[in-house]
Amino acid sequence: MSLKKLKFDLLKYSDKKKAKIVQRFFKTGPGEYAEGDIFLGITVPMLRILSKRYKSLAFNETLQLLKSRIHEERLLSLLVLILKYRDADLSEKEKIYKVYLNHSRYINNWDLVDVTAKHIIGDFLKDKDRAPLYKLARSDSLWERRIAILSTSHFIENNDFEDTLKIAEILILDPHDLIHKAVGWMLREVGKRDRDSEERFLKKYYTVMPRTMLRYAVERFPESKRQAYLKGTA
């Protein structure tokens, strides 16, 4: 499979009307977090189908695609990297992990992070030193900070909450709404598996954490308890 044919397929499934809608949704206007990002209007399910079709795309061409100005091309390259990662031996997994981190500037929207971080970064670090996540959590890059917290979803799925809670603590006063949502989401995921662990964290921070973060974190609580947290009376 060639990169040229892949790009031809992408154009075949593009939709100009849908592209205009998603460009507004993903905040691509002047001064917004994804300023200048270009969309083709291709659905994620179709991109997943294409990723399986182009799973054998050469590694250098996959990276070339990741550097594209077109959003769906970057997302497709990441989906292909996930498939390559799953079939790789440990040495190749480490290569893909390092490539992901070294190219984080191209993983520059929330969907690109959310669809991929746990499958590569989270999986690779599951049985290793997790110091790289703490470096990402303190990064000036919004997207690297989101990678840090979203990668821990892999740990949460295995009932390992320590790093999620420590990174949430680092990000508790982050200025960006996209981090508030991500941290609240991960706290909610912890709570699905261990409500006591989530509540110990909330009892310490709920009066100072951003409102959006708190709303996401308590979304699945019984209504009376949810309201108590939101009203500051928990």
Domain ranges for the chain, please list them: 1-89, 125-234
The pLDDT tens digits for 198-224 are 999 999 999 999 999 999 999 999 999
Q: Please report which confidence band the pLDDT of residue 30 belongs to, taking 50, 70 and 90 as the band edges.
A: confident
- Each residue's pLDDT tens digit, 83-120: 999 999 999 999 999 999 999 999 999 999 999 999 99
Hey, is 171 helix, strand or coil?
A: coil
Residue type present at position 22: V
- Report the C-alpha gap between 110 and 124 in whole angstroms: 20
Q: Which two tokens stand for residue 71?
A: 């959003």
Please state which architecture CATH assigns to domain 125-234: Alpha Horseshoe (1.25)
Token output for 49 = 């189908």
